[in-house]
Amino acid sequence: MNKIEIVPFNETHVNQVLYISTLSFKTPWTRESIEKELENELARYVIAIKDGLVIGFGGVWNILGEGHITNIAVHPEYRGLGAGDMIVEALIELCKLESIASMTLEVRKSNTVAQNLYKKHGFIEAGIRKGYYADTKEDAVIMWKHKV
């Protein structure tokens, strides 16, 4: 069993990130939106690789000195191996390197697996955004991690 590696996201990963996005999200990101993230000066993305395959990805934006996690996804066949933990840890480390003191995110209220992952890394629930998700009108839980 090969270990999981975390590496920076680049253009060679777009197809695999798009595929994982379609498997993981009710409204997946488009190819165009993924490609634009490569050009976004505020964005930092990492990829989880196992046996030469992209098995997960995650990103954070540096907005006025706060880290906003945009998304994290792991291929369903590779969940439970620790890739999600490694991605969150890598995003936290990226924020530390950029002297970001706080991180935030929104997560579907029904996605308790993701909420528990974030809680494990020190994120706390701070509020609800009613009807945040346009596709289902589901509420989002706002989570914060202070003192990164």
| % pLDDT > 70, the chain | 99
Q: pLDDT value at position 78?
A: 97
Interval 11-18 mean pLDDT: 97
Q: pLDDT value at position 1?
A: 53
CATH number, domain of 121, equals 3.40.630.30
Nearest Cα residue to 34 out of 13, 7, 48, 54: 13
Interval 49-74 mean pLDDT: 97
Nearest Cα residue to 24 out of 52, 51, 48: 48
pLDDT exceeds 80 at position 2: no
CB 88 within 8 A of CB 118: yes
Q: For this structure, is 118 an active site residue? A: yes
Alpha-carbon torsion angle 26, 133, 13, 42, nearest 10: 180
Q: Which of 106, 125, 132, 138 is catalytic?
A: 106
pLDDT exceeds 70 at position 31: yes
Q: Which of 37, 45, 78, 118 is catalytic?
A: 118
pLDDT exceeds 90 at position 3: yes
Interval 53-78 mean pLDDT: 97
pLDDT exceeds 70 at position 26: yes
Number of domains into which the chain is organized: 1
Please write the tens of the pLDDT for every residue from 90-143: 999 999 999 999 999 999 999 999 999 999 999 999 999 999 999 999 999 999
Residue-range definition of the domain harbouring residue 57: 4-146
Q: For this structure, is 19 an active site residue? A: no
Question: How much is the pTM?
Answer: 0.95
CB 136 within 8 A of CB 26: yes
| % pLDDT > 90, the chain | 97
67-88 burial, b if ≥16 CB within 10 A, otherwise e? bbbbbbbbbeebeebebbebbb
Query: Amino acid identity of 85?
Result: D
